[in-house]
Chain A
Amino acid sequence: MPDVVASAAAPPEPQFASLRQQSEVASIGIWAFLATEVLFFGGMLLAYAVFRKAYPLGFAEAGRETKIVIGTINTMVLLTSSVTMAGAVYAAEGGRRRLLTLLLILTAALGLAFVGLKGLEYSKEYEEHLVPGIDFAFASPHANAIQLFFFLYFMMTGVHAVHLTIGIIVVLVMAVRAGRGAFSPAYHSPVEVTGLYWHFVDLVWIFLYPLIYLNGRVG
């Protein structure tokens, strides 16, 4: 039995003619912002492409040192969090306050699990002297290339983790607001916007995963 809360949505801001226009503009705005994020990550991807092409053996050897178990579990966690986030948006559209709140909290929890596992992964890599600039050491003729790989690994996953952390905070804020009944079928664009951002962070990881974890696994 849906518990639709008839919350009176605030009037649109003065520059908008209607709440519908305001919601649509918010959606357009976040998509435009996500386009900029593609280029933000793109710079690092170019560096990755350049060095992988230049040092195929070094990058393959480095790829074997990545923690594929943690990486794969993390991928599952993040993909699942996208499902719960998408579910949250459906719940918002349907006015299901409790379901919405629950799914948002679940999404944030999965995000936190990802960050936690990432931290574990980083600490292992630190113990194995794989952190460039901080006592990096690797016995191999390809040591330079391996250091370059790990530099890009830490930069790309680090920047990704920062984005994810921001997302977790925003999702939790949305969860609090949702719990207080701020959203309704007529007004839930903040949830949609949050969802779009969250899915984008997932998209970045979908491409980082094979580039980081799946290289050099043959043989």
Chain B
Amino acid sequence: MAREAVRLAAAWGALMVLLGSTLGLSYVQLGSMNIAVALTIATAKALIVVFLFMKLARAVPLTWVFAAAGLFWLLIMFGLAATDYGARLWVIAS
């Protein structure tokens, strides 16, 4: 039980550090990289939640497929919508 507690405490610590760094970096001028950095840190937090808390690594392989499918389908939506929004000027009123 103690081992799990240490693991959880370490995860909590890592999450707080990541939160602090994303907050801090948002005040630093990185131009168009700001969003990329923020989402990368968010992904790091997400990986801790998914692998340490949701224990995806220990789940049956089928759950990997489901998790991947959700993300992949989101990419389909964003990717193909981008063929339209990336190639069309539509903003009329700001």
Residues of A within 8 A of B (CB): 2, 24, 27-28, 31-32, 34-39, 42-43, 45-46, 49-50, 53-55, 57-58, 68, 72, 75-76, 79-80, 82-83, 85-87, 90-91, 94, 96, 141-142, 144-145, 195-196, 199-200, 202-203, 206-207, 209-210, 213-215, 217-219
CA–CA, A82 and B4, complex, Å = 14
The distance from the CB of A55 to the nearest CB of chain B, in whole angstroms, is: 6
CA–CA, A87 and B46, complex, Å = 18
Instruction: Select the residue from A58, A75, A96, A206 with max chain B CB neighbours within 10 A.
Output: A206
Knowing A42-B77, A86-B8 are in contact, say whether A210-B41 is a contact too (CB < 8 A). yes
The 6 closest A-B pairs by CB, nearest first: A35-B70, A38-B70, A210-B38, A214-B26, A86-B53, A31-B63
Which residues of A are found within 8 Å of B49, using beta-carbon distances?
Answer: 82, 199, 202-203, 206
Instruction: State which of A35, A83, A144 has its C-beta within 8 Å of the C-beta of B67.
Output: A35
CA–CA, A54 and B5, complex, Å = 46
Contact present for B60 and A217 (CB under 8 Å): no
Contact present for B70 and A76 (CB under 8 Å): no
Knowing A46-B77, A79-B16, A218-B27 are in contact, say whether A53-B46 is a contact too (CB < 8 A). no
Q: B57 an interface residue at 8 Å Cβ cutoff?
A: no
The distance from the CB of B28 to the nearest CB of chain A, in whole angstroms, is: 7
Chain A: CB-nearest residue to B41: A210
The distance from the CB of A101 to the nearest CB of chain B, in whole angstroms, is: 15
Those of B53-90 within 8 Å (CB) of chain A:
53-54, 59-60, 62-63, 66-67, 69-71, 73-74, 77-78, 81, 85, 90
- How many chain B residues touch the partner (CB < 8 A)? 49
Contact present for B8 and A55 (CB under 8 Å): no
Contact present for A96 and B74 (CB under 8 Å): no
Which residues of B are found within 8 Å of A218, using beta-carbon distances?
Answer: 26-30, 34
Which residues of A are found within 8 Å of B8, using beta-carbon distances?
Answer: 83, 86-87, 90
Knowing A38-B71, A38-B74, A219-B29 are in contact, say whether A58-B16 is a contact too (CB < 8 A). no
Which residues of A are found within 8 Å of B35, using beta-carbon distances?
Answer: 210, 215
Chain B: CB-nearest residue to A210: B38
Contact present for A207 and B70 (CB under 8 Å): no
Instruction: Select the residue from A39, A49, A53, A141 with max chain B CB neighbours within 10 A.
Output: A39
Contact present for A27 and B63 (CB under 8 Å): yes
CA–CA, A209 and B90, complex, Å = 28
Those of B7-44 within 8 Å (CB) of chain A:
8-9, 11-12, 15-16, 19, 22-23, 26-30, 34-35, 38-39, 41-42
| 17 further A-B pairs in the complex, CB-CB below 8 A; given A45-B74, A79-B45, A80-B12 | A28-B60, A31-B66, A43-B77, A49-B78, A50-B85, A79-B16, A82-B53, A83-B8, A90-B1, A90-B4, A144-B94, A195-B53, A202-B49, A206-B46, A214-B26, A214-B38, A215-B26
